[in-house]
Amino acid sequence: MSAGSVGFIGLGNMGRLMAANLARSGRKLVVRDTDAERQNAFAIEFDAVAGDTPAAFAEVEAVVTMLPNGKAVREAVLDSGVATALRRDAVVIDSSSSDPLDTLELGRELAEQGLALVDAPVSGGMARALDGTLAIMLGAGDEAAAERALPILDAMSARVFRTGALGTGHAMKALNNFVLAAGFVAAAEALVTGGKFGLDPAVMLDVLNASSGRNVSTETTLVEEVLTRRFTANFTLGLFTKDLGIAAGLAGSLEIDAPLCALVHERLAQAGAELGPQTDYTETVRLWERRSGVEPAP
């Protein structure tokens, strides 16, 4: 494999779009996914190498992981034998939503093998993954590793933010999703309450978006997914509550008094237990309407 090639592990909804942007930038890819059909289809479409064995990654300069959690990252990089096969100057770029404390431990273990780890989780959803405008949060304790990772990240998005040392990217991602969740839950509860009193949800959102209650959920998610009754924001309750659990756990480990974080996590986790982890998080509004006896607007 020629110099400049990149490994990419995890070709789910987000990973596939990010890897496709890398391929379009001219990078030769070695790809792996637990779904062999998806892996091989991507390899054919983008002239990539199917990474069926650790040896396939032997000459890549970096491996990007885009997986559900830190446990999956550990399995894909360490337990699989990929780390052993990598060049000693290769960098591992974890774009998954991992626990920052787990990231620090993985970084130490990879360093023992002569490998550098940076964390570079993303925010923005599938639309921004497609057009290359994701927010990428880069944490790196090794400046040389960050410099090696930056050209690869730049090929996936022009919006890369340096957050600090290793683990800070994953911490930022979890905290960002806490803020998103808090705004969403507050706005959703306001809509349900207003609906019960007789307010028109569309009028409520117009007022909120012209007032100080405006947030990303009132501006986009509730307008595009709840008013239309589509409920297709493409972010599952399982993944959302996992990120909120990371944020709440981080606050707890640092002995921070953050009761709202724990409460929002509990609120959505309860909804996930009732609706199922694969349910789109916007479906919680329909659940809360039903519990409150609110008839949605036609």
Amino acid at 178: F
Per the CB < 8 A criterion, the answer to whether 6 and 27 are in contact is: yes
Contacts for 140-149: CB closer than 8 Å, 24+ residues apart: 140/165, 140/166, 141/107, 141/165, 141/166, 142/116, 142/118, 142/166, 144/116, 145/91, 145/116, 145/117, 145/118, 146/118, 148/61, 148/62, 148/89, 148/91, 148/116, 149/62, 149/91, 149/93, 149/118, 149/120
Q: What is the 3-state secondary structure (H, E, C) of the chain?
A: CCCCCEEEECCCHHHHHHHHHHHHCCCCEEEECCCHHHHHHHHHHCCCEECCCHHHHCCCCEEEECCCCHHHHHHHHHHCCHHHHCCCCCEEEECCCCCHHHHHHHHHHHHHCCCEEEECCEECHHHHHHHCCCEEEEECCCHHHHHHHHHHHHHHCCEEEEEECCCHHHHHHHHHHHHHHHHHHHHHHHHHHHHHHCCCHHHHHHHHHCCCCCCHHHHHHHHHHHCCCCCCCCCEHHHHHHHHHHHHHHHHHCCCCCHHHHHHHHHHHHHHHHHCCCCECCHHHHHHHHHHCCCCCC
CA-wise closest residue to 66 among 48, 29, 84, 92: 92
Q: Is residue 102 part of a domain?
A: yes
Residue 62 clears pLDDT 70, i.e. is over it: yes
Confidence of residue 4 (pLDDT cuts 50, 70, 90): confident
User: Residues with Cβ < 8 Å from 83, sequence gap 6 or more?
Assistant: 77, 92, 110, 113, 115
User: CATH code at 22?
Assistant: 3.40.50.720
With the C-alpha atoms ordered 219, 222, 228, 234, is the resulting torsion angle positive or negative?
positive
Quick: pLDDT tens for 121-138.
999 989 899 999 999 999
Q: Is residue 57 part of a domain?
A: yes
Alpha-carbon gap, residue 270 to 18, rounded angstroms: 32
Last residue of a domain, one of 111, 143, 165: 165
Quick: pLDDT tens for 133-189.
999 999 999 999 999 999 999 999 999 999 999 999 999 999 999 999 999 999 999
Are 132 and 176 in the same domain? no
Quick: pLDDT tens for 63-98.
999 999 999 999 999 999 999 999 999 999 999 999
The residues annotated with a catalytic role in the active site are: 173
Which pTM was predicted? 0.93
Are 74 and 127 in the same domain? yes
pLDDT value at residue 296: 79
Amino acid at 105: E
Q: Is residue 298 part of a domain?
A: no
Are 176 and 48 in the same domain? no
How does strand 49-50 pair with strand 116-119?
Answer: unpaired
Quick: pLDDT tens for 240-255.
999 999 999 999 999 9
> How many domains does the chain fold into?
2
Are 188 and 272 in the same domain? yes
User: CATH code at 252?
Assistant: 1.10.1040.10
Alpha-carbon gap, residue 288 to 281, rounded angstroms: 12
Q: Which two tokens stand for residue 124?
A: 């923005």
Domain of 77, in residue numbers: 6-165
Quick: pLDDT tens for 245-291.
999 999 999 999 999 999 999 999 999 999 999 999 999 999 999 99
Amino acid at 166: L
